[in-house]
Amino acid sequence: MDRSYLDVNEPYVNEAPIQEMFLHSFLPFSTTAINKGDEIRIPIQNRDAVTLPSESFIYVEGKLIKPADLLTEVTFSQNGLINLFNEIKYEINSVEIQRVKRPGVSSSLKGYCSYTPEDVNCLQNAIWDGEDSNRKFIKDGSFTGCIPLKHVLGFAEDYNKVLINCSQQLILNRATDDLGSLTFFLKGNEVLSDVIVQAKVKKIKIELTKVMWKVPVVKVNDREKNWELCEYPNIPQTRKRSWMVKTCSRVEKPRCLIIAFLCKDSSHMAEEFASDFDACSLTNVKA
């Protein structure tokens, strides 16, 4: 039997410190400069927000444009979504916390060494799926994906606490060449060694239409810090009286009550302080 059942003097522990947690989408300074060679800066400037960057992710939308006469099927390679960026930086209060060059390569090496099957299942939206070679990721030339920040930054993987009273910024450098993010499934008589096919492949473009940083924002439950004043202005002149102060659920049950009597109001003129409380010959109180 667990002996903790006998520890009746154990201090109170708030079982619901978080009232609400929701995802907030943070946009880049420029929502149009998000393609080849562009630097994408996504800031969090609200210092009052309580954020959880370890559970945040980069949301990407885009489309694949290829020549109409190219029969070869084109899709993303393994972990290809993060390969659209050749560098990622994370800053807190304008101080660089971590910088990763070629995040696609570094995250792949780390993932192959440490990811469990459960981790792989959670990363399918980040194009980490070896079963069908990601052939279902692009539909009608369009795609959407989510890259968990802890997939590419060790800081986000190791530090799983909230951040408060600070500004943050995520900086993504868009790659100048997208062919390293793609894989090809030949069809018909096309061969990649063919000069004509190579010329068509070089015309393939990946155009991003939306890049956002989705970060959990935590709303802390501080109701245990609230104080509520209840007044009984006209107390009957009887020796015994019951006062229905308020009705509350068991969850909202007050942790303590402070009861005081004041025989003089603020307009009463006397030598004593108007805020001095009176005993009123009280003998017993029950709550």
Would you state the structure tokens that stand for residue 109, as one six-digit string?
Answer: 């090496």
pTM attached to this predicted model: 0.72
Taking only the tens of pLDDT, the chain with its 287 residues reads 567 667 778 776 665 677 788 999 999 999 888 988 899 999 999 888 899 999 999 999 999 998 888 888 888 888 889 999 999 999 999 999 999 999 999 999 999 898 988 888 888 889 887 665 777 888 888 999 999 999 999 999 999 999 998 999 999 999 998 888 888 888 877 787 788 888 888 888 999 999 999 999 998 876 656 677 778 777 777 778 788 777 776 656 677 778 888 777 655 555 555 567 777 777 888 77
**At which residue do the structure tokens 């309580």 appear?**
50
Would you state the structure tokens that stand for residue 199, as one six-digit string?
Answer: 């010329």
Q: In 67-204, which residue ranges form alpha helices assigned H by DSSP?
A: 103-114, 117-122, 149-152, 154-158, 195-201
| Rounded Cα distance, 79 and 77, in Å | 6
Closest CA to 88 of 144, 169, 161, 205: 169
Q: Helix or strand or coil: residue 180?
A: helix
